[in-house]
């Protein structure tokens, strides 16, 4: 979504009474959970003494755990036939008036909060609280100024000139200049950092590929014209370039800090609303308000980010009064728990701009055969999966683009649930009734409802195709590592896998070109189709408003090819179900996560 591009679809933000949370009922095309304007932090004099910090964290966690009693170490794993678990009744925990307690589910810790290496959605949540870039995405998922107060785009759409915000500083008071952005972007491109997604998101900048290959120390297309003017030149026009800058790779970092030693992230700061005060590995990160934040000092003094590998443990802690925020785009409130809280003012729900899918390693048998992929696709009853297994808390997916994203106004012919056609496809592949089919293993990360979904797929494939699938669960961090292996060395990678993709930025390119074009870094399954590649390549370069219809038609044709050839097996679009305590004011629930339009107005009562 760019000023040179097309009008964005807009979500309707409903106003609710003071003390409640505003929330979007109508979803929009949007990127990965971006939390608000420049987000940064600092290590200035506001940092508390370590002993008092540990006291704050310890008291908050200990009080909550005491109220919860002995929290279960395992989330419930009911089947479609199992009754819902009994509602939890727990004593309240006194809530500190100056601390926002924010749970991140599905992880026991974060690998890194370096903007140059944003490993997953959990890490990006914290990165967006501590660092900021040139632009941000607001509560309606529109591009807005952040570290840059304005910009201009050349007539041919290849040169962007940004004016750095007057008075912008890092949290330690050091002025931010255009040269700091030049350093930060080139750092993300450098082979020493080896940022996995940088080629896909920054590769169109003139000279970026030379830096990625180690042939040049800096991209010739990124230059500081003067202290407040940054110029970025592209090899070709890109309709989505501005929105793409909301992803952390272009966030500005203080050079003196990041080059000060290996542990700099434990005291990280940037240009955003918070700074890292203490990181207790395997437990939490405590953030403190940045008084130099460009929007003004945040209205909440501290954010305590707590890690919970199991969503149900976080849920119980929330119900006991130990959290203010529970649930995320990638790990929403467990479907089995929704009925218990739907009536509460805490409960917020909107369609998520994400697609849960099964990916296939196209380089390994039997998934190098398109008929096998089609057989598995047409043997999945997505309606039953959504309604019976996931309690109606997801939307069955007939296509790759998530519900209501730009481009979904053009129809797709899905591979519908058809057990007879599925069996015929398996026979066409040379495996009638599954005879002779190589063993198949479905991998998945242990988070949210994934185990329920994997077990349901296992049952459906056995029922409708007569084949038995082995399930292979991984801790979420290990699952991400296995996906990397599948991309780099597919012969030793996963055979097929249950995964999810949430929009980094609101554009079909993020789901089609980045995920399924031949050779792209996120094409873990190595899907390859020359006609698909030609269509998305042409669409990616159409940036003029007058070309929007043509651009979307090209993406639509490409998406149909990917559906017909099962580049992905899309299963469902998650609903973003999240609990936010009514004492929290100033946050907005959007299809891609929580947004603070103005951190100086965020309050916890």
Q: How far apart are CA 408 and CA 393, in angstroms?
A: 21
The predicted pLDDT at position 92 comes to: 47
**What's the pLDDT at 328?**
86
Domain 32-346+581-604 shares a fold with domain 354-575 = no
What is 32-346+581-604's CATH superfamily? Answer: Periplasmic binding protein-like II (3.40.190.10)
Cα(354)–Cα(511) distance, integer angstroms: 9
Domain 354-575 falls in which CATH fold?
Dipeptide-binding Protein; domain 3 (3.10.105)
200/504 Cα distance (integer angstroms): 12
pLDDT for the residue numbered 93: 52
Taking the chain (605 residues) in runs of 10, the rounded mean pLDDT of each run is 31 29 32 31 32 43 41 36 42 71 94 92 95 94 95 95 98 98 97 88 95 96 98 93 94 97 94 97 97 97 95 94 91 91 95 94 98 98 97 95 93 97 98 96 94 98 97 93 95 97 90 96 96 96 86 97 98 95 96 92 94
Q: Is the dihedral of CA 389, 394, 399, 401 positive or negative?
A: negative
* Cross-sheet strand order for the sheet of 22-24: 13-14, 22-24, 588-590, 593-595
Residues with Cβ within 8 Å of residue 370, at least 6 apart in sequence: 565, 566
SS3 sequence of 252-275: CCCHHHHCCCCCHHHHCCCCCCEE
Beta carbons within 10 angstroms of residue 175's beta carbon: 12
The predicted pLDDT at position 283 comes to: 95
- What ranges do the domains of the chain cover? 32-346+581-604, 354-575
What is the structure's pLDDT at 60?
46
């Amino acid at each position: 979504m760019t000023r040179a591009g097309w009008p964005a679809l807009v979500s309707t933000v409903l106003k609710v009474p003071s003390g409640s949370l505003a929330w979007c009922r109508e979803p929009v095309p949007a990127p990965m959970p971006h939390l608000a304007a420049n987000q940064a932090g600092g290590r200035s004099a506001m940092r508390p003494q370590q002993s008092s910090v540990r006291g704050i964290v310890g008291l908050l966690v200990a009080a909550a755990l005491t109220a919860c009693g002995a929290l279960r170490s395992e989330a419930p794993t009911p089947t479609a036939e199992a009754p819902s678990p009994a509602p939890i009744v727990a004593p309240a925990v006194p809530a500190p008036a100056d601390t926002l307690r924010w749970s991140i589910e599905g992880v026991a810790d974060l690998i890194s909060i370096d903007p140059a290496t944003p490993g997953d959605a959990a890490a990006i949540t914290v990165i967006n609280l501590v660092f900021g870039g040139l632009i941000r995405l607001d509560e309606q998922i529109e591009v807005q100024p952040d570290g840059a107060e304005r910009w201009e785009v050349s007539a041919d759409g290849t040169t962007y000139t940004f004016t750095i915000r007057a008075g912008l500083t890092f949290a330690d008071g050091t002025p931010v200049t255009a040269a700091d952005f030049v350093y930060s972007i080139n750092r993300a491109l450098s082979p020493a950092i080896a940022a996995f997604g940088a080629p896909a998101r920054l590769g169109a900048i003139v000279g970026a590929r030379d830096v990625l290959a180690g042939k040049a120390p800096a991209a010739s297309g990124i230059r500081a014209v003067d202290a407040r003017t940054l110029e970025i030149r592209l090899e070709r026009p890109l309709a989505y370039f501005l929105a793409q800058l909301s992803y952390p790779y272009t966030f500005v970092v203080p050079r003196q800090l990041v080059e000060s030693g290996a542990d700099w992230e434990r005291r990280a700061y940037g240009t955003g609303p918070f700074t890292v005060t203490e990181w207790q590995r395997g437990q939490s990160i405590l953030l403190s308000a940045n008084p130099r934040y460009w929007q003004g000092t945040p209205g909440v003094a501290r954010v305590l980010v707590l890690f919970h590998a199991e969503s149900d443990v976080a849920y119980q802690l929330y119900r006991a009064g130990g959290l203010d925020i529970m649930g995320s785009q990638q790990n929403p409130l467990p479907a089995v728990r929704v009925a218990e809280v739907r009536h509460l003012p805490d409960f917020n729900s909107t369609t998520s701009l994400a697609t849960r899918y099964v990916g296939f390693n196209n380089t390994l048998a039997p998934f190098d055969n398109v008929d096998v992929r089609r057989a598995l696709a047409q043997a999945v009853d997505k309606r039953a999966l959504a309604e019976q297994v996931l309690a109606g808390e997801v939307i069955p997916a007939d296509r790759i683009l998530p519900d209501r994203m730009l481009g979904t106004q053009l129809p797709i012919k899905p591979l519908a649930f058809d057990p007879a056609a599925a069996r015929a496809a398996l026979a066409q592949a040379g495996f009638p009734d599954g005879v002779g089919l190589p063993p198949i293993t479905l991998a998945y990360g242990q988070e949210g409802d994934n185990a329920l979904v994997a077990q349901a797929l296992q049952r459906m494939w056995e029922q409708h195709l007569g084949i038995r699938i082995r399930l292979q669960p991984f801790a979420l961090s290990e699952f991400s590592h296995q996906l990397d292996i599948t991309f780099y060395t597919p012969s030793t990678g996963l055979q097929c896998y249950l995964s999810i993709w949430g929009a980094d930025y609101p554009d079909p390119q993020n789901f089609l070109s980045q995920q399924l074009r031949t050779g792209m870094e996120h094409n873990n399954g190595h899907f390859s189709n020359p006609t698909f590649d030609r269509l998305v390549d042409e669409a990616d370069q159409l940036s003029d408003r007058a070309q929007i219809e043509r651009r979307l038609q090209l993406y639509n044709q490409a998406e149909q090819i990917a559906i017909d050839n099962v580049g992905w097996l899309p299963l469902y679009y998650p609903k973003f179900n999240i609990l936010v305590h009514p004492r929290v004011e100033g946050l907005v629930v959007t299809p891609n996560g929580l947004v603070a339009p103005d951190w100086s107005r965020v309050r916890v009562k």
